[in-house]
Amino acid sequence: MPSRKVAVAQLEASASKADNLDAVKRRVSEAARRGASLVAFPEFMMFHTPSSQSPAQLARLAEPIDGPFVRSVAESAREHSVGVVCTMYERSPRRNRVYDTSFHVSKSGRLVSAYRKIHLYDALGFRESAKMEPGNEMPRPAASGVGRVGMMICYDLRFPETSRALAAAGSEVIVSPSAWFRGPSKEEHWLTMNKARAMENGCYVVSPDQIGPVYCGRSLVVDPYGAVLLDMGKRAGMGYADIDLGALRRTRRGLPLLRSRRTDLYAGFAG
pLDDT digits (tens, 9 = 90+) for 137-183: 999 999 999 999 999 999 999 999 999 999 999 999 999 999 999 99
Which secondary-structure segment (H or E) carries 92?
A: none
Q: Is residue 196 scored above 90 in pLDDT?
A: yes
Identity of residue 51? S
If you average pLDDT over residues 192-218, what whole number do you get? 97
Could you tell me how far CA 106 lies from the centroid of its own chain?
15
What was the pLDDT predicted at 268? 79
Confidence of residue 1 (pLDDT cuts 50, 70, 90): low
227 vs 267: CA distance, rounded Å: 32
Domain CATH for 90: 3.60.110.10
Quote the domain boundaries for residue 152. 4-269
Q: Is 259 helix (H, G, I), strand (E, B) or coil?
A: coil
What was the pLDDT predicted at 234? 95
Cβ proximity of 53 and 110 under 8 Å: no
Q: What share of the chain is helix, strand, coil (3-state, %, to 5)?
A: 30, 25, 45
Which of these ranges, 12-16, 29-33, 255-259, 264-268, has the smallest mean pLDDT? 264-268
Residue 107 appears among annotated catalytic residues: no
Q: Which of 145, 197, 191 is nearest to 174 (CA)?
A: 197
62 vs 65: CA distance, rounded Å: 10
Question: What is the bridge-based pairing of β-strands 4-10 and 38-40?
Answer: parallel
Cβ proximity of 143 and 168 under 8 Å: no
- What rounded mean pLDDT belongs to the chain? 96
| Number of domains into which the chain is organized | 1
Which secondary-structure segment (H or E) carries 90?
A: strand 83-91
pLDDT tens profile 134-143: 999 999 999 9
141 vs 262: CA distance, rounded Å: 23
235-260 burial, b at 16+ Cβ within 10 Å, e below that, comes to eeebbbbbbbbebbeebbeeeeeeee
What are the φ and ψ backbone dihedral angles of 142, each rounded to 5 degrees?
-120, 145
Residue 195 appears among annotated catalytic residues: no
Per cent of the chain over pLDDT 90 is 95
From the candidates 86, 154, 203, 216, give the one annotated as an active-site residue: 154
Residue 203 appears among annotated catalytic residues: no
What was the pLDDT predicted at 2? 65
Strand order through the sheet with 98-105: 111-116, 98-105, 83-91, 38-40, 4-10, 237-243
From the candidates 17, 43, 133, 216, give the one annotated as an active-site residue: 43
From the candidates 117, 131, 133, 195, give the one annotated as an active-site residue: 117
Cβ proximity of 112 and 74 under 8 Å: no
